[in-house]
Structure 1
């Protein structure tokens, strides 16, 4: 019995390792179509009508998501946690009016900054076609990392820390 349990545990760990490798390779492949130019946004109006200036000399995380995206819903708390320690701007694609989005955030206890990309122009400018997509810019405004798909809080935190070096 003990040997079977160890065998199944080894197989489960191997499966998790292979899936992690596959997910990262897939993310790298999908990231190839993203706009690699320096961050283009400078000053935006968020859904709460406040002005947000993109910081200079500090890393920033741009997170593209949508209220209709199941993976985005699963990742939202990771983005919320990272937004407490780092500069984060989220860009929501075709997710309703500002009021509908404010209600969506309230109902899920989310407080991160949101730009409503109701017509998809910003999302298109960055080359984003799969959700969620996260682009991290370093302190000089250049892309440091990009991730297409789900990302953990610790993965985001480490990337943001490295981007700030």
Structure 2
């Protein structure tokens, strides 16, 4: 995950209910949130201006104790650096799926893209110009676009590629399975 002045969705599970501080491992507080009944938290993070570039672990702190940590580091980029666009395959709630996640052919799935310009974004299987999954629209003044395309009959290991002019982003690899009989 790459941090800009906004960040992609992040979900942690803390266990107990309560008010939790979301902090970087250097002690920088990013947010204060209330956990859901099942102990999960989620939302967008804002990295403070002036945060030193580098890799950080994101932690949930409840009453001074670390109760959860993200499974992957957060990379904070230097000021003025513009990261490339990204595309994520997500659950219905917007939580990104991991590499090798399973989806079913001939079913709809959820895609989110970040850091594209306003306008149309073309979605393809495996490569630009490959099997079309349709088009998403990046609205002006929005950080993210969302789409729920129908996966074609193609099964096996595949990726979603989002293309907008010279901007291209590729998803994690998906394991596309046949629908149940």
TM-score tier (shorter):
under 0.3
User: What TM-score results when the alignment is normalised by the length of structure 1?
Assistant: 0.23
- Which one has the bigger helix percentage? 1
Bigger share in strand: 2
| Structure possessing the higher relative contact order (Cα contacts under 8 Å, 6 or more residues apart) | 1
Length-normalised TM-score, structure 2: 0.22
